[in-house]
Structure 1
Amino acid sequence: MITEPLRSLAREVGISCEWTDAHGNPASLDESALRAVLAALDLPAGTDSQIRDSLAQARQFRQDADDGPFLICHAQQPIDLRGRLAAGSRCHITLEDGHQHSLEVDANGYLPPLPCGYHQVQSGEQQLLLACAPHAALSVAELTGGRRHIWGLSAQVYSLRRTGDGGLGDTAALESLALNAAHKGADALAISPLHAMFTSRPEQYSPYSPSSRSLFNILHAAPAQVLGAEIVERATHECDLQCDLQALEESVLIDWPAVSALRLRLLRQLHADFSQAPDTLQDDFRRFRAAGGIRLEQHCCHEALQQHQLNQNLSGDWREWPAPLRDPNSPEVAEFARQYTSELDFHAFCQWLIARCLSRVQSQCRNAGMAIGLIADMAVGADPSGSFGWSHQQELLSQVSIGAPPDMLNRDGQNWGVAAFSPIGLKRSGYRAFIEMLRANLAHAGGIRIDHIMGLQRLWIIPEGANAQDGAYLNYPPDDFLRLLALESWRHRALIIGEDLGTVPEGLQEALAERNILGMRVLLFEQQDGELPPPTQWSDRALATSTTHDLPPLAGWQSGRDIAWREHVGQSSAEQADLDRRQRSKEVQILREALQREGLLGEEKNPQAQLDASIRFLGCTPAPLVLIPLEDILGATEQPSLPGSGDMHPNWRRRWPQPATQMLDAPTAARRLDDLHEARLTCERNTHHG
């Protein structure tokens, strides 16, 4: 039983002692797990004295954070400055657009309303930064000129294929797919995360465990899009890469280490030749690097330092480096940067290439008629040993990782091995790292999908070395996050999507809907009490989709391909697999009956016909956005990732056999897209007539 002093400490820190689990049952934290989590947060609670000291420390940290110079408030409403500035204080206001005003705090302690944006307030020696947010993010209707029912595709970028790609999907293949999708009526193309990875650790390639969520994966750049085909061809010949690139291109699965080695060789040659590039390109690179500021420089320095350590057979994990190198602002790090100027310049050059490539793809999407264009995917966390962890140590919790408690899909829980934000550290820094991530991911996209958006309200944190089930929920300030999301949506004119699948805390989905943040409704998860609700009963405040990257495509779901994989990798026994197959047969029949009830499917039992009907079914829902993965458009059976399977399943390695230029033109794929497009138009017409 948890004592009251220990419970008080948990409340102050934001740890939940009770919650509702994935089955809807009450769950509670035991005392030993709570003490372990508190210890991992540097708040020892082994004795009554330690609890008292930790409680006092936690309260002081929270007070300091609440009194910080960053304030999030609603735009166009009076701003509460009580406790910060005295009534009658004169304030010099510099709005985000540069306009300046002189205002006075009224007798009740309020400043007059200000427009949306980040505004500087100075009163005497005191300075504040106000984040004045709109009530809600921009909706699909606001972004499309009034249309309420649009559709798009989702794609794993690494899996795309084009002639000459050297074995890995890139932005040139992405552009081809986007233009073809736009031609067929798509308004959006949701893509897998393109976060910066580790150039010195190519064996770590999961897009959901990056080095930084504020920079990009340079391996996905198609340099010819920026530098021109002639320059890239010359560099390829200079490095004598043609044969190796061709061999990798012909592989069925991606060989990440081999692809990484060859692409880095090509990128280094392009960097060496860049001094001969046109002045316009060199000037653009210099402007890009200057605009990137310390965020870009520290990432480049981390990349160079990590490789330097590995070259000396030392650890690549910055947490094991000598103390001076663990501090990105130390004189020793500055000296390293001076000594290795060219290496930092190389990494900045690569970031410039991928950023300009993505910018081109988004421009092409919009020019081709897409209302949204690319929808970026922002992972729930980053590898703590990466550049983001190195640069943002005060804003991250160093001794815990993020995961999930036991649920229906993972009976032992999950440990994702990525770092969690410190609620107090974020607030003290003015949410610097969070805002930085949003801006980076929205810079070249018309929308963003936030993985595991429940993390804006609470995260399951696991002490270092503990099992996933021995974690606890740490609560975060969701209102602050949601206001910042709304503000960045307004600033970038972007759609915000939140992946709200799994154990969702009470009230979160309603809060998302109120702020125009689209949740996700997945066909495979919508069956309730032995039936699938008709399309008209689906939410009009969430996107609708057939499946996700962690689930089987519909054809694989119908055949039980995922069940066979889980048995193969040891996640379930033969007996459990048999039970799962019997349950799956019932679920497939429920889907079939729902499709027949809607007049979308006849008596035929062809799985592809049921897939066709399922796509039409989703198109008939009132969802503002319907996203269909390429796997379902093409009738594939294999899923991109099987969580928890390690190397026994080819996670993030599958490649499409056909080029991106041809994927959507195959007769079956084209017919499915036509059906989806017509269903969405029908929804739109019915809305207007209604």
Structure 2
Amino acid sequence: MAETPLPEALLALAGRYGVVPDYWGFDGSHRQVAEGTLVAVLAALGVDASSPERVEVALTNAEDEVWRRMLPPVLVVRAGAGGSVAVHVDDGAPVDAWVELEAESGGGRRDLAHLDVYVPPRTVDGRQVGRATLEIPADLPLGWHTIVAESGATTARCTLVVTPARLTLPVGLDERRAIGLMAQLYSVRSAQSWGLGDLADLRDLAWSAARRASADFVLINPLHAAEPAPPMTPSPYLPSSRRFVNPVYLRVEDIPETAYLPTAERTLVEWQAEAARPLSADAGPIDRDAVWTAKKVALEVVYAAPRSAARQARFDAFRAEQGQGLEDFATWCALTEHFDGERWPPECHDRASDAVRALRTELADRVTFHCWLQWVADEQLAAAQRAALEGGMRLGIMHDLAVGVHPEGADAWAMSDVFAHGVAVGAPPDMYNQQGQDWSQPPWRPDALARVAYAPYRDMLRTVLRHAGAIRIDHIIGLFRLWWIPEGRGAQAGAYVRYDHEALIGILCLEAERAGAVVIGEDLGTFEPWVRDYLVDRGILGTSVLWFEREGDDFRPPEHYRRLALATVTTHDLPPTAGYLAGEHVELRERLGLLTEPVEKVRADAWAERRQLLDLLGRRGLVGADPSERQVVEAMHRLLLASPAVLVGVSLPDAVGERRAQNQPGTDTEYPNWKVPLADSAQRLVTLDELFDHPRLRSLVAALRR
């Protein structure tokens, strides 16, 4: 049956706010978004489209709003390209404008010239408004500048962001590719860990990987902050805050004040360590709550110890540098502890309320404690990156940026005005998740981000990039468009909302350029073909996963892979390669009820795919007639070296023969997602202390060196 056409006015309004009324499914079918979905998504953007009359009012108001502002809130341009900016003043009134350059770019002022562009005036709110068009010079330096416009007694300001036209690869990466490890840090534990891999383990992992495996980087899971009190959300991709760090990763003994504790206080710390360290030998799911319960007690003891004048000054400087964002995050942590699982009073959901202001004062010491945790985490992250580079890595730590945040977390509370309400981010059905996905994360509102000149986005990037040689952007397509799912509807009943990708990608490039970091975008899944070309044009690497690299009905020859890419055999959302080869991903999904096709067909397809792979490896002389599992895994990684990809990543579970998946998409408590400790093919735990002597890892390293 033919679909009923959507009203033209509703389509125009949706287009005005970047809501896409149709999309192409993974099966090639063209699908129209339901009218009710469009109305619900527009409501989440603050637009009432509940009747034809309200749609017309919203259309007129959207156009008038542009003319009400003297300057737009933000303008993002590429270096060398220049541009223009519209200034709205009383019709016929003169206007002067200039750019104030930021201090980091040398400071100074540049006057803006008028362009000969005539636009008819518009009557807005009974006022005749004219538009002047001013030229943005093409030779402005990179940075965050300010456009100032004056007309009579009225002055307006606009943030001007000049971004790199293209990121360039670090010196040497053009001539010689970088090979690195990929690890879920919490799963990589040592004899000194408190039940979970921590930042000291990261430091040692990076140094050892450089020295003993010739690795140039180590990609880790997001270290974003979670809840400050149990229960702690296990998924690193559903954080409380993307800007700040989860202090569960701290190594207590590495905080300088720990060494000078009096005997009684030192005993308290040692008691907690004695309770937590045995967890590292537990083969069962990682218990973050037990780890954090012990570690938090110890950290509170160390926090209470006196700091030297210099150490205190450094903490104060860090707190001042991080500004209001850190204070709000720490306040949310203190409030979460204060209410201790009880429902928050309605007034406390507003960070600017009198109630929150009073609690900031009452809980000042707890706020300071949570600021301090971020400071010591920053110090330990710096030490890890320093050790990676000293070990010989060319890039060092590659941090991962999750696509969103927990709907009841710190970011959603502190920045409520830039998040959309009544919707969640997810993904439409695809061949691996045929029911679609609801990630339960609130999306940023594109219009609200622009209103605040992308400051929350910039600040988040700066924190993650502080001690990074590279950054992986999970679901980078989300900087172009996101699948918004209205509350109460299934993941299939969503719509794409477009973002200003030129602004978001440009700012990403600017902050990465200033940090000296490589950017990798996870560009898997459903997306528009031109997106990859755009990312290449901006110097952002893509992601090539062997299992997903197909040409027609067969595997794509590695010579046909992209050059600007991180090439890997697998990802954290798939079983390790040994498990995939054994078809365990099919059996797991069948047990969990995630299949939408008969299990026999899915199983047959998986074995056919395996046969294709073995045929490819055999034709290239990488395996013999009856290869072992280890030989196949090594051959698959050697196959990647035939690609032109500038980065090749080796999953740590693949390196030791692990079969269990870290995450099974589409599940929550049905599977121990993000809780699986590193083990080998016999399910024997592999600690960091023995990792680089493990026979499977040594054999894989030797195979990659051949």
Same fold by TM-score, threshold 0.5 exceeded? Answer: yes
Letter in 2 for 1:56: T
> What is residue 682 of structure 2 aligned with on the other side?
none
In structure 2, relative to structure 1, the CA distance for the partners of 1:133 and 1:40 (3 Å cut) is closer
* 1:445-456 mapped onto 2 (5 Å cutoff): 445-456=468-479
| Equivalent of residue 100 in structure 1, options 84, 96, 107 | 107
* 3-state secondary structure, aligned to 2:618: helix
| Equivalent of residue 167 in structure 1, options 189, 195, 203 | 195
Letter in 1 for 2:80: Q
Task: State TM-score, norm by structure 2.
Answer: 0.90
Q: C-alpha offsets along residues 93-140 of structure 1, whole Å, 9 cap, x if unaligned?
A: 33342623343323433243211122234454333322111111232x
> What is residue 251 of structure 1 aligned with on the other side?
282
* 3-state secondary structure, aligned to 2:657: coil
Q: C-alpha offsets along residues 425-452 of structure 1, whole Å, 9 cap, x if unaligned?
A: 0111101111111111111111111111
> What is residue 131 of structure 1 aligned with on the other side?
161
| Equivalent of residue 220 in structure 1, options 245, 249, 252 | 249
The answer to whether the Cα contact below 8 Å between 1:90 and 1:102 also exists between their aligned partners in 2 is no
Q: C-alpha offsets along residues 143-185 of structure 1, whole Å, 9 cap, x if unaligned?
A: 4464341111111011011113121110111111111111122
| Equivalent of residue 115 in structure 1, options 117, 141, 156 | 141
CA distance in 1, matches of 2:656, 2:550: 24
* 1:64-75 mapped onto 2 (5 Å cutoff): 67-75=71-79
- Structure 1: state its 5+ residue gaps: 679-690
> What is residue 535 of structure 2 aligned with on the other side?
512
> What is residue 353 of structure 1 aligned with on the other side?
376
The answer to whether the Cα contact below 8 Å between 1:489 and 1:496 also exists between their aligned partners in 2 is yes
* 3-state secondary structure, aligned to 2:609: helix
CA distance in 2, matches of 1:676, 1:421: 42
CA distance in 2, matches of 1:136, 1:647: 43
Letter in 2 for 1:666: H
- Structure 2: state its 5+ residue gaps: 116-133, 679-684
Letter in 1 for 2:205: L
The answer to whether the Cα contact below 8 Å between 1:224 and 1:231 also exists between their aligned partners in 2 is no
In structure 2, relative to structure 1, the CA distance for the partners of 1:243 and 1:364 (3 Å cut) is closer
CA distance in 2, matches of 1:46, 1:257: 45
The answer to whether the Cα contact below 8 Å between 1:138 and 1:493 also exists between their aligned partners in 2 is no
Do residues 204 (structure 1) and 208 (structure 2) align?
A: no
* 3-state secondary structure, aligned to 1:648: coil
Aligned-CA RMSD value: 2.3
Q: C-alpha offsets along residues 476-506 of structure 1, whole Å, 9 cap, x if unaligned?
A: 1111112112111211111111111111123
The structural deviation recorded for 1:220 is 0.4
In structure 2, relative to structure 1, the CA distance for the partners of 1:673 and 1:127 (3 Å cut) is same
> What is residue 685 of structure 1 aligned with on the other side?
none
CA distance in 2, matches of 1:23, 1:667: 43
CA distance in 1, matches of 2:569, 2:105: 46
In structure 2, relative to structure 1, the CA distance for the partners of 1:203 and 1:387 (3 Å cut) is closer
Do residues 466 (structure 1) and 494 (structure 2) align?
A: no
The structural deviation recorded for 1:236 is 5.6
Q: C-alpha offsets along residues 630-661 of structure 1, whole Å, 9 cap, x if unaligned?
A: 01111211111001222121111111222223
CA distance in 1, matches of 2:515, 2:40: 42
CA distance in 2, matches of 1:249, 1:19: 47
Higher relative contact order (CA 8 A, sep 6+): 1
The structural deviation recorded for 1:35 is 2.6
Letter in 2 for 1:126: A
Letter in 1 for 2:309: D
Letter in 1 for 2:473: I
> What is residue 281 of structure 1 aligned with on the other side?
311
In structure 2, relative to structure 1, the CA distance for the partners of 1:107 and 1:35 (3 Å cut) is closer
CA distance in 2, matches of 1:63, 1:423: 19
The answer to whether the Cα contact below 8 Å between 2:257 and 2:302 also exists between their aligned partners in 1 is no
CA distance in 2, matches of 1:202, 1:171: 21
The structural deviation recorded for 1:564 is 1.4
Letter in 1 for 2:84: D
Letter in 2 for 1:506: P
The answer to whether the Cα contact below 8 Å between 2:407 and 2:442 also exists between their aligned partners in 1 is yes
The structural deviation recorded for 1:356 is 0.9
CA distance in 1, matches of 2:551, 2:261: 54
CA distance in 2, matches of 1:232, 1:596: 62
Task: State TM-score, norm by structure 1.
Answer: 0.92
The answer to whether the Cα contact below 8 Å between 1:88 and 1:104 also exists between their aligned partners in 2 is no
The answer to whether the Cα contact below 8 Å between 2:461 and 2:511 also exists between their aligned partners in 1 is yes
Letter in 2 for 1:94: L
* 3-state secondary structure, aligned to 1:645: coil
The structural deviation recorded for 1:242 is 4.2
> What is residue 302 of structure 2 aligned with on the other side?
270
The answer to whether the Cα contact below 8 Å between 1:71 and 1:129 also exists between their aligned partners in 2 is yes
* 3-state secondary structure, aligned to 2:488: coil
Letter in 1 for 2:346: P
In structure 2, relative to structure 1, the CA distance for the partners of 1:59 and 1:259 (3 Å cut) is farther
CA distance in 1, matches of 2:313, 2:19: 50
The answer to whether the Cα contact below 8 Å between 1:195 and 1:213 also exists between their aligned partners in 2 is yes
Letter in 1 for 2:403: V
> What is residue 654 of structure 2 aligned with on the other side?
632
> What is residue 675 of structure 2 aligned with on the other side?
653
> What is residue 188 of structure 1 aligned with on the other side?
217
* 3-state secondary structure, aligned to 1:397: coil
Letter in 1 for 2:190: R
In structure 2, relative to structure 1, the CA distance for the partners of 1:628 and 1:111 (3 Å cut) is same
Q: C-alpha offsets along residues 187-244 of structure 1, whole Å, 9 cap, x if unaligned?
A: 1111100001111243422111111101000100113333266358965622532442
In structure 2, relative to structure 1, the CA distance for the partners of 1:322 and 1:581 (3 Å cut) is same
> What is residue 205 of structure 2 aligned with on the other side?
177
The structural deviation recorded for 1:562 is 1.3
> What is residue 13 of structure 1 aligned with on the other side?
17
> What is residue 682 of structure 1 aligned with on the other side?
none
Q: C-alpha offsets along residues 10-35 of structure 1, whole Å, 9 cap, x if unaligned?
A: 11121111211112221211223323
The structural deviation recorded for 1:580 is 1.5
The answer to whether the Cα contact below 8 Å between 1:373 and 1:445 also exists between their aligned partners in 2 is yes
In structure 2, relative to structure 1, the CA distance for the partners of 1:616 and 1:564 (3 Å cut) is same
CA distance in 2, matches of 1:84, 1:667: 70
The answer to whether the Cα contact below 8 Å between 2:207 and 2:390 also exists between their aligned partners in 1 is no
> What is residue 681 of structure 1 aligned with on the other side?
none
The answer to whether the Cα contact below 8 Å between 2:543 and 2:565 also exists between their aligned partners in 1 is yes
> What is residue 594 of structure 1 aligned with on the other side?
616
Identity in percent: 32
> What is residue 53 of structure 1 aligned with on the other side?
57
Do residues 369 (structure 1) and 392 (structure 2) align?
A: yes
